[in-house]
Amino acid sequence: MKNIFGESSKRVKKADASEQWISVSDLMTGLMVVFLFVSIALMRHALNERDKVKIERDKVKSIAVAYQQNQVAIYDALDKEFSNDLTKWNAQINKETLSFEFKSPDILFAKGSYELTEGFESVLGDFFPRYMQVLNQFKESINEVRIEGHTSSQWGDIEDQDEAYFNNMALSQARTRSVLSYIQSLEEIKSQRDWIRNHVAAVGLSSSKLILDDNGVEDSDKSRRVSFRVNTNADIQIRKIIEE
């Protein structure tokens, strides 16, 4: 009987071991299933993130292309309108920055003065209404028009560079305010004064952007200038995409 019971006991132990092995196998299978689901979830997340990045990259690329096309269109429109006036006004249009630059310091202001000369008033009276007619085609893409005043680095007999710089800063700022005040008073643009008030800024840059000659020496006359610069809103659109 002992032998019989002994054999039965051994069988019971074998059965318990078999059941334990099945339990471990089930646990491993379950873990593998969980791991599989986690892996799938991570892969889907990675794919979604990749797709999201691609979509954002495509959006930025499309804005960059539209920005370039818009820049060219604005330049072409300005060039078409003013190409016959550039020489007599001693002006130029910078294609890269969309700056319309008046480069004759003696015509713009008297030396050290912020009051417009009669000659510059006459030029602005002809230029600005036509300038606004061109920009009307692109208003939705324009963030700001900056009237930028530039000076040389000189200020009388003053040798202190900081003092000369800040004196020229005040002068260049006063000059651009005089320009803005004058164009705002023109009867031809009366209906657009609200837009001008909200989108045209007067900025004095002092001697921060000097014009240099071929030898790298400051050209004082060329450095004294006034420009109208168009800034489009492409960077704002790109910033919104990044923030989203």
Beginning with the edge strand found earlier in the chain, give each strand of the sheet holding 99-102 in spatial order.
91-94, 99-102, 225-232, 142-150, 200-204
Using CA atoms, how far apart are residues 110 and 97, in angstroms rounded to an integer?
27
User: According to DSSP H, which parts of 83-142 are helical?
Assistant: 86-89, 105-108, 118-135
| Average pLDDT estimate for 106-113 | 90
Least confident of 4-8, 94-98, 155-159, 196-200: 4-8
Taking domain 64-243, whether its CATH number is 3.30.1330.60 is answered by yes
For the chain, domain boundaries:
64-243
Confidence category of residue 233, pLDDT binned at 50, 70, 90: confident
- Judge if pTM exceeds 0.85: no
Instruction: Look at the chain and count its residues.
Output: 244
Contact (CB, 8 A) for 107 and 119: yes
pLDDT at 210: 94
Using CA atoms, how far apart are residues 108 and 87, in angstroms rounded to an integer?
15
Using CA atoms, how far apart are residues 88 and 110, in angstroms rounded to an integer?
19
Residues of the chain with pLDDT > 70, as a percent, come to 68
User: According to DSSP H, which parts of 157-200 are helical?
Assistant: 161-184, 193-199
Using CA atoms, how far apart are residues 53 and 79, in angstroms rounded to an integer?
39
125-144, pLDDT tens digit by residue?
Answer: 999 999 999 999 999 889 99
pLDDT at 157: 87
Structure tokens at 156: 């009388």
pLDDT at 1: 47
Confidence category of residue 61, pLDDT binned at 50, 70, 90: low
